[in-house]
């Protein structure tokens, strides 16, 4: 979104205020041009013979977004059999989908096998059971390289106490299981979690994975997961994808030479692909001045947008109703009966009740984490593509809220007249 004279516009000149008028508020809007730009950047950064980028669709799982990725040539990274199912429905070839669950049942993995997708296993118990049940289905093994990515314990999943992956110290057990069951290992994988700031950390994890890869003679791919960071505020460090790409490609190509085969290099970015493409619009209901603070209370809350509260994430906030004006400070809060602060002491142009604000970087882990808490409807989603806006999810209504509720025939008797 850029400021064009006196108004904010999305790509193709689309006016967000018009979208709000048409589709209501609060509203999620995604700009496909930004998703395409990010995909191309990553694709161009990796200079290898065989590359597959598997979009981690838990970040933003609307089927239209999945179709956009399919059109760009992307694969899909999925963490539940429901995501697998949506991916198939979006037209992905099953072999372009990888199923990377954690702590799911063998039954769920069996369902994924029936879909024909790639299977990634992250614990030795399931590996053994899987090997006995499906010795002929090739698998990928998720390794925990024990590195700490970023400082956030909620998003770092590759450290020693993490529940994810098989510790690389357990490789003797993995080999014993593979030998005993006759399993074919076609890939090795690591995913260290979000927020990789330092290519060095990423490369040292990669080194561990490559060492393990050497021990498996029949590999087809090596999957380095994700963890690519994007900038949320000015001055934020984002993963230098061009630098990282050139270094990892060089290392990977050298490895393939030693291994004697052109393996496929895989990544599974979520946030990097869609974060910046998303905008979340809300309306200011109340300006409330207390003794210490000026609050701007909006028609949304942690039910629609939980990242600031759950991860302490910073999301830039803009007053789009008044692009020009004097700057004031506001603490932007939601309408949920919990502390749901979007941003503390944020400077923006003077807000009035009824104004619309935009929260930026709302593409990844925003709508997909939305709930119906406080019996609120989840918002509509709009995709802006080549200058056109498309409604890709309707706002919920009371029928949606009640659809799965069953009114048991016990409380409906007519009250007795006294």
Ligand X SMILES: *Cc1c(COP(=O)(O)O)cnc(C)c1O
Residues annotated in a binding site for substrate: 307, 311, 338, 365
The piece of 25-33, 248-256, 270-278, 396-404 that touches ligand X (CB under 6 A) is 270-278
Based on CB atoms, which residue is closest to ligand X, 156 or 300?
156
Report the nearest approach of ligand X to the CB of residue 162 (Å). 12
Determine if 227 is a binding residue for ligand X (CB under 6 A): yes
The binder of ligand X chosen from 31, 77, 355, 381 (CB under 6 A)? 77
279 φ, ψ (degrees, to nearest 5): -130, 140
The piece of 224-232, 309-317, 323-331, 383-391 that touches ligand X (CB under 6 A) is 224-232
Report the nearest approach of ligand X to the CB of residue 209 (Å). 14
Q: One symbol per residue from 24 to 63: x for binding ligand X (CB under 6 A), - otherwise; what is it? A: --------------------------------x-xx----
Report the nearest approach of ligand X to the CB of residue 178 (Å). 21
Nearest residue to ligand X on Cβ basis: 270
State both tokens at 178: 């593979």
Determine if 269 is a binding residue for ligand X (CB under 6 A): yes
Based on CB atoms, which residue is closest to ligand X, 273 or 382?
273
The binder of ligand X chosen from 83, 96, 268, 355 (CB under 6 A)? 268
Determine if 112 is a binding residue for ligand X (CB under 6 A): no
State both tokens at 103: 């702590």
Task: Give a three-class secondary structure readout of the chain.
Answer: CEEECCEEECHHHCCHHHHHHHHCCCEEEEEHHHHHHHHHHHHHHCCCCCEEEEEECCCCCCHHHHHHHHHHCCEEEECCHHHHHHHHHCCCCHHHEEECCCCCCHHHHHHHHHHCCEEEECCHHHHHHHHHHCCCCCEEEEEECCCCCCCCCCCECCCCCCCCCEEHHHHHHHHHHHHHHCCCEEEEECCCECCECCHHHHHHHHHHHHHHHCCCCCCCEEECCCCECCCCCCCCCCCCHHHHHHHHHHHHHHHHHHHCCCCEEEECCCHHHHCCCEEEEEEEEEEEECCCCEEEEECCCCCCCCHHHHCCCCCCEEECCCCCCCEEEEEEECCCCCCCEEEEEEEEECCCCCCEEEECCCCCCCHHHCCCHHHCCCCEEEEEECCEEEEEECCCCHHHHHCCCCCCCCCCCCCCCC
Report the nearest approach of ligand X to the CB of residue 206 (Å). 15
The binder of ligand X chosen from 62, 194, 283, 361 (CB under 6 A)? 194
Instruction: Name the catalytic one among 25, 140, 337, 358.
Output: 337
Q: How far apart are CA 287 and CA 351, in angstroms?
A: 8
Subset of 333-372 contacting ligand X (CB under 6 A): 364
Report the nearest approach of ligand X to the CB of residue 189 (Å). 8
Question: For 1, how many CA atoms within 13 A lie in the half-sphere containing its CB?
Answer: 27
The binder of ligand X chosen from 87, 225, 245, 301 (CB under 6 A)? 225
Among positive and negative, which fits the CA dihedral 13, 1, 340, 363? positive
337 is catalytic: yes
Based on CB atoms, which residue is closest to ligand X, 310 or 390?
310
Report the nearest approach of ligand X to the CB of residue 150 (Å). 10
Determine if 74 is a binding residue for ligand X (CB under 6 A): no
Site size toward ligand X (CB under 6 A) is 18
Residue 351: name the closest of 284, 270, 256 by CA. 284
Report the nearest approach of ligand X to the CB of residue 59 (Å). 5
Determine if 79 is a binding residue for ligand X (CB under 6 A): yes
Based on CB atoms, which residue is closest to ligand X, 192 or 319?
192
Based on CB atoms, which residue is closest to ligand X, 59 or 248?
59
The piece of 89-97, 265-273, 308-316, 368-376 that touches ligand X (CB under 6 A) is 265-273
Show which residues are catalytic: 337
Residues that bind ligand X (CB under 6 A): 56, 58-59, 77, 79, 100, 191, 194, 225-228, 268-272, 364
């Amino acid at each position: 979104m850029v400021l064009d004279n006196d108004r904010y516009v999305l790509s193709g000149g689309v006016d967000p205020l018009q979208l709000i008028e048409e589709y209501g508020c609060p509203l999620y809007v995604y700009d496909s041009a930004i998703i395409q730009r990010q995909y191309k950047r990553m694709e161009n950064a990796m200079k290898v013979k065989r590359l597959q980028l598997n979009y981690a669709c838990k970040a933003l799982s609307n089927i239209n977004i999945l179709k956009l990725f399919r059109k760009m040539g992307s694969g899909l990274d999925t963490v539940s059999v429901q995501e697998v199912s949506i991916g198939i429905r979006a037209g992905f070839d099953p072999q372009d989908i990888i199923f990377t669950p954690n702590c799911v049942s063998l039954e769920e993995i069996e369902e994924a096998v029936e879909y024909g997708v790639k299977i990634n296993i992250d614990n030795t118990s399931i590996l053994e059971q899987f090997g006995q049940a499906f010795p002929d289905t090739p698998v990928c093994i998720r390794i925990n390289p024990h590195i700490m990515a970023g400082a956030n314990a909620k998003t770092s999943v590759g450290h020693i106490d993490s529940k994810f992956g098989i510790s690389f110290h357990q490789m003797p057990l993995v080999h014993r299981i593979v030998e005993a069951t006759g399993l074919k290992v076609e890939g090795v994988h690591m995913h260290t979690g979000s927020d990789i700031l330092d290519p060095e950390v990423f490369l040292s994890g990669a080194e561990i994975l490559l060492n393990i890869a050497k021990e498996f003679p029949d590999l087809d791919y090596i999957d380095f997961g994700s963890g690519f960071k994007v900038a949320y505020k000015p001055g934020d460090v984002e993963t230098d994808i061009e630098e990282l790409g050139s270094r990892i490609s060089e290392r990977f190509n050298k490895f393939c030479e030693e291994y004697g085969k052109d393996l496929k290099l895989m990544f599974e970015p979520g946030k990097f692909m869609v974060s910046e493409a998303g905008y979340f619009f809300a309306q200011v209901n109340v300006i409330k001045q207390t003794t210490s603070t000026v609050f701007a209370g909006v028609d949304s809350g942690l039910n629609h947008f939980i990242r600031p509260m759950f991860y302490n994430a910073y999301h830039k906030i803009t007053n789009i109703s008044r692009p020009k004006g004097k700057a004031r400070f506001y603490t932007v809060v939601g309408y949920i009966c919990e502390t749901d602060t979007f941003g503390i002491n944020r400077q923006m142009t003077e807000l009035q009740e009824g104004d619309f604000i935009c929260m930026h970087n709302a593409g990844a882990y925003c709508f997909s984490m939305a709930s119906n808490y406080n019996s609120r409807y989840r918002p509509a989603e709009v995709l802006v593509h080549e200058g056109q806006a498309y409604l890709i999810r309707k706002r919920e209504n009371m029928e949606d809220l009640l659809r799965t509720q069953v009114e048991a025939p016990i409380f409906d008797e007519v009250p007795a007249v006294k």
